[in-house]
Amino acid sequence: MTFSRPRPGDLLAAAPTHAAAPAAHRTAATPRELYGDLFVEVQMSRVFGDGKSFVDARPRSSPALIRARFDVERRSANFSLADFVQTHFTLPAHAEAPTPQRGIREHIRALWPHLVREHRDAVEGESLLPLPRPYVVPGGRFRELYYWDSYFTMLGLVADGRRDLAEGMLANFAHLIETYGFIPNSSRSYMLSRSQPPFFFRMVELLHADDPAAGFAACLGALRAEHAFWMDGETDLAPGQSHRRVLRTPGGALLNRYWDDRCTPREESWREDVETAQASGRPHEQVWRDLRAGAESGWDFSGRWCADPADISTIATTALAPVDLNALLAGLEAAIARGAARLGDAATARAFDARSVARRQSLQTHFWRAEAGHFADLNWRDAADPRPLTAASLVPLYLGFATQAQADSMAAQVRRHLLGANGLLTTSLTTGQQWDAPNGWAPLQWMAALGLARYGQAALARQIAARWCASVERVFTATGRLLEKYDVAQDRPGGGGEYETQDGFGWTNGVYVGFQDVLLNGLPD
């Protein structure tokens, strides 16, 4: 795809161009903090089948008044918790999708306006964070701006002539960095303790495709602030130590992991997390931290994160340095170096180029499993732990950080273990979790296909893209729906996980459109 340079005056340039001293960033109270015992009772009693319903609700009066009324009314013999919630909150609704269009591309174009939201002003007691520009949500239960989803959605927006929305979403992410010091998992208060895979630099590159360095220069302050978030605590780490998202291996390599700054149940999945911890036989706070870290990964959930892939209670996300996260951070560091060089800041350019080179060397020494012939996550305390092949193993190819021999070996492993009738499997593990077999996800198809094509594996790249698009088309023809995930073995929606498969769906729409444009023009050889 070819994208033109943003016009002068774009909000992209509003991000500071030079790193400044850390600012005092805002926070926002979460539903658990606002509603106390009421929150716990609603979630543990399963008033709603989906715990996200309550945390997304809008109060009809102040949280303090609602809590006071709850404390009084709950003592009544005929008290109904469900009725109380209905009286005092406006519950979220799923947006109705437009009538299916004759063609899938026409339907996607009709979907974009239905997925646009705008929320400029904060409402007391509501979890939704205000943002300055309209944005596209994934769809279904996902009614807010999500971080890594948005990059793949933006692919389709730009291709479909909605560059205005893509630019506005980038401006919103810059605003989140300026306001909170990082980009949260989504624009909800209960997501302000974690982020998601760092795709902000890829968004900048997408919207400055004819001159990426100019985009990196314009957004250098935001890029550096995001990097500082991921690297917080790096200075004083000794080998074998960790702090939040950063760690040093016993050999001294500086790497990153997923994390969450809270070690309580996720507020949107409170009851599920309580039950998982109770079944684990492990310290509950550690289980909750690892569940939350798994949510930061975007892969919530997968046997990839578990000591026993079949048992979610063995989740140990924080014990792993993920291959995809570290490849993305090497890309972010390279982007910062390019932006600084464009601005004439040679010292910063040298420092971040050295960081990116060191991390790319770690991909070779810590994440490449020569005996298995593929990249994999690293158990940073136990390097001998054989981590499985997953679709994340292709992210180093996507970003250009593999050797040709590694890419050829990865292609062989994909054909042998991950290529399905309908595209790329997420993992070869069958666990009942949604980020495992037999499911396929749009962002993983995109990164795998473009990564393989980058290294001359165009035939395999086309197979992945064509098979996945054909499955999307067949399910659309049969159901009139575009879905969050698909079964890679059969023509049907993906399944598993904590909630029903959702309609919408932002990144499916974007990747489908992107693939159609790339396939029509020929994937790069």
Distance CA 286, CA 391 (A): 26
Angle formed at CA 336 by CA 10 and CA 19, multiple of 5 degrees = 75
Q: What percent of the chain has pLDDT over 90?
A: 90
182-201 tens-digit pLDDT: 999 999 999 999 999 999 99
53-85 tens-digit pLDDT: 999 999 999 999 999 999 999 999 999 999 999
Per-residue pLDDT averaged across 19-28, rounded?
65
- 447 and 424 Cβ atoms separated by less than 8 Å: no
Distance CA 525, CA 515 (A): 15
Residue 18, pLDDT score: 36
pTM of structure: 0.95
Q: What percent of the chain has pLDDT over 70?
A: 95
Catalytic one among 56, 144, 300, 436? 300
Is residue 484 among the annotated active site residues? yes
N- to C-terminal Cα separation, the chain: 14
Domain spans, the chain: 31-90, 389-525
Please determine, for residue 20, whether its predicted confidence score (pLDDT) is greater than 80.
no
Is residue 377 among the annotated active site residues? no
Per-residue pLDDT averaged across 500-517, rounded?
95
- 89 and 38 Cβ atoms separated by less than 8 Å: no
Catalytic one among 126, 377, 484, 487? 484
- The helix (run of H) or strand (run of E) holding residue 179 is helix 163-180
Distance CA 339, CA 349 (A): 8
Residue 429, pLDDT score: 96
491-503 tens-digit pLDDT: 999 999 999 999 9
- Look over the chain and give the mean of its residue pLDDT values, rounded to a whole number: 94
Helix, strand, or coil (residue 256): strand
Helix, strand, or coil (residue 136): strand
Residue 167, pLDDT score: 98
The tokens 């792993």 sit on which residue? 320
Per-residue pLDDT averaged across 327-332, rounded?
99
124-137 tens-digit pLDDT: 999 999 999 999 99
Question: What sign has the CA pseudo-torsion 55, 309, 259, 340?
Answer: negative
Between 521 and 281, residue with greater pLDDT: 281
